Amino acid sequence: MTSTSSPIRIAWLLPTAWFYWQPSLSKLTKKFSFTKVFTGLWPGFAKGFENTLDVQPIGDRKIINIAKDTKSYGNNFTYLSPSIIFPLLRFRPHVIFSSSFGIWTLLALLLKPLGRWHIVIAYEGSSPSVDFLNNSRRLTLRRVMVRAADACITNSQRGKAYLTETLHAPTDKVFAFPYEVPDPQSLLATSSNLEEEKATHKPLLSFDPQSPIFIFIGSIIPRKGLQSLLAACLQLSRCVCSPYPGRYLGHGSA
């Protein structure tokens, strides 16, 4: 794909470069130093990952709600600036990883013959609120985009099933592996007393079925599904389990 004198250039197109992206992208940058993140919303570096990424904010990300639903992501449209075209052409990436099926992914696919880059669609996860199974127009567009891409990656086996069974992506071009894993050091670094936090955390190496431990990481909002976890905990407590500890490790914009 490239000569030995030409290092591989990798571009990531992320509507929002949330903190949970940064650990894996930082490791990727160590291996491929010419990695650049283009984003519509930049919240800043997570603690412990300062200046480990080359980030270029592009325009302003806007969420346009078509049919609002507080219990899901709803039927919305994420506006991202089409001006991504010019910095992308200047950077001349060999490989583009683009998040989901938004406008930046579509633009990257349309410019593929001109840019001569390879495109990998990163589908973070699968759920009824983002799969749009009842929206034939969106499904048709996604199927076309999957066929035009070189590969797809996803966080889960359910995401892989959606890409292969619903969008008909070739199974040999879909790869499922967790890549948005929060870094423990970064999570603990939000504490005002890091050493005390470390001392009070017990290792989760053993499992007692009568006293399981649940960890919820996310915003306390309906669409994150916390109500389902609490309902499951209630059922367990009524059946066989004794009281068990709970801990919230959240971020306001997760």
Core vs surface per residue 53-69: b (16+ CB within 10 A) or e: bebeebeebeeeeeeee
Measured distance CA(223)–CA(129) in Å, rounded:
9
Give 23 or 179, the one with higher predicted confidence: 23
pLDDT tens per residue across span 208-233: 656 667 777 777 777 677 788 888 87
Q: Is the pLDDT of residue 82 over 60?
A: yes
Give Cα 181 distance to the centre of its chain. Answer: 9
- Report the DSSP beta bridge partners of residue 123: 154
Asked if residue 135 has pLDDT above 80, the reply is yes
What's the pLDDT at 199?
A: 54
Backbone angles phi, psi at 227, to 5 degrees: -60, -35
Please give the pLDDT value at position 180: 75
Q: Say if CB 172 and CB 164 are below 8 A apart.
A: no
Rg, the chain, Cα only: 20
More confident residue, 111 or 251: 111
Q: What pLDDT, on a 0 to 100 scale, did the predictor assign at position 75?
A: 63
Q: Is the pLDDT of residue 192 over 50?
A: no
* Residue among 124, 84, 89, 87 at smallest CA distance from 106: 84
